[in-house]
Amino acid sequence: MAKQFNVAVVGATGAVGQQMLEVLAERDFPIKELRLLASERSEGKFLEFKGEQLMVQKLDKDSFAGIDIALFSAGGGRSEEFCPIAAAAGAVCVDNSSAWRMDPDVPLVVPEVNPQDIALYTKKGIIANPNCSTIQMVVALKPLHDYGNIKRIVVSTYQAVSGTGRNAIDELRIQCGELLNGRPAECKVYPHQIAFNCLPQIDVFLENGYTKEEMKMVDETRKILGDSRIGVTATTVRVPVFYSHSESVNIETAVKISVEKARELLAAAPGIKVVDDVDKLLYPMAIDAAGQDLTFVGRIREDESVANALNLWVVADNLRKGAATNAVQIAEILAEKYL
């Protein structure tokens, strides 16, 4: 009989937590026991997994006895507190928050890009899941970087409200209904109306004028690709889309990459689907990426303003590949190679 594992999902009732349950079921992860953990507000609720109703338990310091893998999506504060507790109890933590991403003793992993870094989990018993917008970008850039050595990245993101959570999804839905019926929109989640609008702010502003989200993309990209010399600048924008993040990415490389070669490299890379036929008006769109685990790349063209540069349009489901699926893929490699 193949080995099975005791798995905990921390933050199981949240948008990403519930997506983790779906992905675990879809990919038939070898689970012996599944433990659903959340705050005391959700204690006693039931969630379905493979046709079975499982009760949500309150997260506390005793929650991880016997657990092999703990998938965390409960916010940075909970991760900072409970990942060390889970690791001390013998679990390997795969954390979806930003709490551990830049810790030098914690690997930051996208399985299609740097799966070898998973082996470094032994330092603290924690593996960090990158930011959703970073994940899809580095999946697309990895084959191009391997071939052409990326020197600089300029990225602008168009991020769905589901990246903020369920309350943001509800806010967009309600605001659309109110405005279409001639009533004013109430803003609770975002500082400004999100319906029929774009907000050039994701997370708080920092002293350098960038937002925290933008600096996540800068720092995480360098760590994942293993090259601190890459120049990265980002502008992150929240748009009135429910699911899937879109990105305009411009890269400058040391070695010239033709459009044809870029398509060839991307089409052969794991986790990527090239959708790039402008004659037929085919290019990646958020509505097509939603519910998918692939990273879609299109609008591939040379940047005529500078030598050795390309423009790309990159789209992926932020709750799946940008969060839950990436975490489960990490867990699969852990289970197969390390546990």
What is the reported pTM?
0.95
**Residue 116, phi then psi, degrees to nearest 5:** -65, -25
Give the pair of three-digit tokens for residue 69. Answer: 């893998």
Q: pLDDT tens across 311-334, in order?
A: 999 999 999 999 999 999 999 999
Q: Is 145 an active-site residue?
A: no
Q: What is the DSSP code string of 235-302?
A: EEEE-S-SS-EEEEEEEEESS---HHHHHHHHHHSTTEEE--BGGGTB---HHHHTT--SEEEEEEEE
Of the listed 93, 132, 145, 192, which one is catalytic?
132
Mean pLDDT of 144-167: 97
pLDDT (0 to 100) of residue 132: 97
Those residues with Cβ within 8 angstroms of residue 123's Cβ, 6 or more apart along the chain or in another chain: 105, 106
- Residues 255, 35: Cα–Cα separation, whole Å: 49
The C-alpha atoms of residue 262 and residue 272 are separated, in whole angstroms, by 12
- 132 assigned to active site: yes
CA within 13 Å, CB half, 199: 22
Domains parsed from the chain with CATH numbers: 5-130+323-338 (3.40.50.720), 133-318 (3.30.360.10)
Question: Considering 83, 93, 145, 245, which one is annotated as catalytic?
Answer: 245
274-299 average pLDDT score: 98
Q: Is the pLDDT reported for residue 231 higher than 60?
A: yes
Q: What percent of the chain has pLDDT over 70?
A: 100
* pLDDT for residue 2: 80
| Residue at 190: amino acid letter | Y
